[in-house]
Amino acid sequence: MAEMKEYIWGTGRRKSAVARVRLSRGAGTITVNHRPFEKYFLTED
């Protein structure tokens, strides 16, 4: 049987936009839509 993971869910809303987050124990890496945080949020320096 697959191992069950425990998640903490959060939701943020502003006007008609909705952002959802799912937190779990792990290595501390941040992913957004299955991509590393740094590749998803590109910034102009």
The reported pLDDT for the residue numbered 1 is 65
Tokens (6 digits) for 36? 């590393």
Between CA 10 and CA 22 the distance in angstroms is: 7
pLDDT at residue 3, as a whole number: 74
CB 20 within 8 A of CB 11: yes
The tens place of each residue's pLDDT in the chain, 45 residues long, gives 667 789 999 999 999 999 999 999 999 999 999 999 999 998 876
* DSSP-derived secondary structure for 31-42: EETTEEHHHHS-
d(CA 42, CA 31) in angstroms, rounded, equals 13
